[in-house]
Amino acid sequence: MAVQKTQGFVLRREDLRETSLILTIYTRDFGKLKLITKGARSPEQRSLSSYELFVLDEIVFYEKRKKNIFFLSQCELLNFFPKVRESLERISYATYLIELLDRVTGIGERNLALYELLKDCMELLSTKASPKRVARIFEIKLLSILGFTPRLASCVNCDKSIEKKRARFSLSRGGVLCEACFAKDRRAVPILAGTINFIMHIKDLPFDKVKNIKVAKRVGSEVEGLLKNFINYHLDIRPRSMDFIGKVGL
């Protein structure tokens, strides 16, 4: 029975029997794992902080599988992200990030780029950066990593370069239409040139560059709506955390 050591973010936690937990952790080296930690909720356990949502832990676990569940033997807290926990807004967006990552990944599917993206975004969320902007960066980069980025550089129908000021966005086709192809999707809607530029820049630039990109309020609102609809339509995901964010106006 091999023993493995890695780092990872807690995505979900479920009570098991009287004192144990099942944790879903997205790890750097093994992707998403389900792990049982026995006695974690016993009176002798001084702190559950290592098992809270979106904390970063260093873990040691037994690699032997039993119905795709591993056994956690050690868990050391590396980052509790206290600045995030000072604000309901930041807590809500951090919850959205881990819920979205959880929904698009399967057990044991290692993806270092996704791990690093979550780590970078959680660290950025711990600063004074706008939580909305952090969420948009996360969504755009995640879609790019998964190969689902909306097509914005050229017409999704005829492949010709588009005039950004006259383009329309087709949700069903997953990208922009040039003026000559508007009839291909009567439901396509106008899209701001700033929205196209923002998404393309975030997608292509390294993380240390994108975190400084500012966006006009109108563009930010359009990007938020476009990405929400795109993720719902093409990934069939409707995160509960995003519903909460919308209901309370965060």
pLDDT band at residue 45 under the 50/70/90 scheme? low
Confidence at residue 63, expressed as pLDDT on a 0 to 100 scale: 74
Cα distances (angstroms) measured from residue 185 to each of 8, 43, 54, 178, 231: 43, 61, 40, 11, 19
CATH H superfamily, domain 1-80: Nucleic acid-binding proteins (2.40.50.140)
Confidence at residue 49, expressed as pLDDT on a 0 to 100 scale: 86
Alpha helix ranges (H) inside the chain = 88-104, 112-125, 131-146, 193-204, 207-210, 217-234, 240-248
Closest by alpha carbon to 123, among 60, 86, 165, 80?
80
Closest by alpha carbon to 95, among 10, 199, 16, 28?
10
**HSE of 59, CA atoms in CB hemisphere, 13 A:** 30
Q: Domain map of the chain by residue range?
A: 1-80, 82-148+192-250
What is the distance between the terminal CA atoms of the chain, rounded to a whole angstrom? 47
Could you tell me the sign of the dihedral formed by the alpha carbons of 123, 127, 131, 137, in that order? Answer: negative
Give the type of residue at 214: K
Residue 21 structure tokens: 């937990």
Select from 1.20.1440.120, 1.10.3720.10, 1.20.120.420, 3.30.420.40 the CATH code of 82-148+192-250. 1.20.1440.120
Q: What is the pLDDT of residues 49-70, one digit of tens each?
A: 899 999 999 999 987 666 688 9
Q: What is the pLDDT of residues 92-149, one digit of tens each?
A: 999 999 999 999 999 999 999 999 999 999 999 999 999 999 999 999 999 999 999 9
151-164 per-residue burial string, b: 16 or more CB within 10 A, e: under 16: bbeebbbeeeebeb
Confidence at residue 155, expressed as pLDDT on a 0 to 100 scale: 97
- Cα 221 to Cα 236: distance, rounded to the nearest angstrom: 21
